[in-house]
A and B are shown apart, each in its own frame.
Chain A
Amino acid sequence: ETGVTQSPTHLIKTRGQQVTLRCSSQSGHNTVSWYQQALGQGPQFIFQYYREEENGRGNFPPRFSGLQFPNYSSELNVNALELDDSALYLCASRGGLAGGEQYFGPGTRLTVT
């Protein structure tokens, strides 16, 4: 158990809909990163939040957006869902911006039909 939690565990959405995924970071961790992991691939970096500010973004379109709250929990929002958005979405937290151990949550499995 890493102390990082995510909700929901599974989600089925229809193409064109919007979805919000949630993540609670491990106690004491102020940095949260979100990843998309397609089947058989490594996690792909979406973006990172440090003390409520976005600090780094991967190669994802603007319809992927996020928030970090004062308690360092975070949300990932995806608008206008596409079939290719079907994946495991992982959040990970670390205690600081660089060089620290990063722990993953259990993930949210999103299926877009």
Chain B
Amino acid sequence: QQPVQSPQAVILREGEDAVINCSSSKALYSVHWYRQKHGEAPVFLMILLKGGEQKGHDKISASFNEKKQQSSLYLTASQLSYSGTYFCGTEAGGAGSYQLTFGKGTKLSVIP
């Protein structure tokens, strides 16, 4: 089942913060976050594993609430380069098959 992302779109000014949420109705093994710019392939940002710690690099971090099967991606002090569509991919696992199911994406636009 496809995870649900919110918001669908957000516009930020440079330097502002944003939070993108991803929720699933299934018990999750991992959550993956990607950013995709127009006409390009999705670029891996980070992975959060069940039982793992909150991840982050530079000004982008993420958390995974296993009890609620929710993940959030935090972008602080946004830069123009952060613009793009953000996808979460969830991995439920079980029965020997692990595959990523992606949400519909959150379009982030950062303006000067």
Residues of A within 8 A of B (CB): 2, 33, 35, 41-45, 48, 55-56, 58, 90, 92, 97-107
Is B47's CB under 8 angstroms from A33's CB?
Answer: no
Residues of B within 8 A of A (CB): 2, 29-30, 32, 34, 40-44, 47, 49, 87, 89, 91, 93, 96-105
Give the complex CA separation of A89 and B105 in angstroms.
Answer: 17
Partner of A99, one of B87, B96, B98: B98
Is A99's CB under 8 angstroms from B49's CB?
Answer: yes
Is B104's CB under 8 angstroms from A45's CB?
Answer: no
Is B41's CB under 8 angstroms from A102's CB?
Answer: no
Is A101's CB under 8 angstroms from B44's CB?
Answer: yes
Give the complex CA separation of A58 and B97 in angstroms.
Answer: 11
Given A90-B41, A101-B47, A107-B41, the answer on whether A55 and B87 have CB atoms closer than 8 Å is no
Partner of B29, one of A44, A92, A98, A105: A98
User: Who on chain A is nearest to B98 by CB?
Assistant: A98
User: Who on chain B is nearest to A41 by CB?
Assistant: B104
Q: How many A-B contacts are there with CB distance less than 8 Å? A: 63
Is B99's CB under 8 angstroms from A33's CB?
Answer: yes
Is B32's CB under 8 angstroms from A102's CB?
Answer: yes
CB-CB < 8 A to A99: which residues of B?
A: 29-30, 47, 49, 91, 98
Is A43's CB under 8 angstroms from B102's CB?
Answer: yes
Given A98-B91, A99-B29, A101-B47, the answer on whether A44 and B99 have CB atoms closer than 8 Å is no
Given A43-B102, A45-B100, A56-B99, the answer on whether A90 and B42 have CB atoms closer than 8 Å is yes
User: Who on chain B is nearest to A56 by CB?
Assistant: B97
Is A45's CB under 8 angstroms from B91's CB?
Answer: no
CB-CB < 8 A to A106: which residues of B?
A: 40-41
CB-CB < 8 A to B87: which residues of A?
A: 42-43
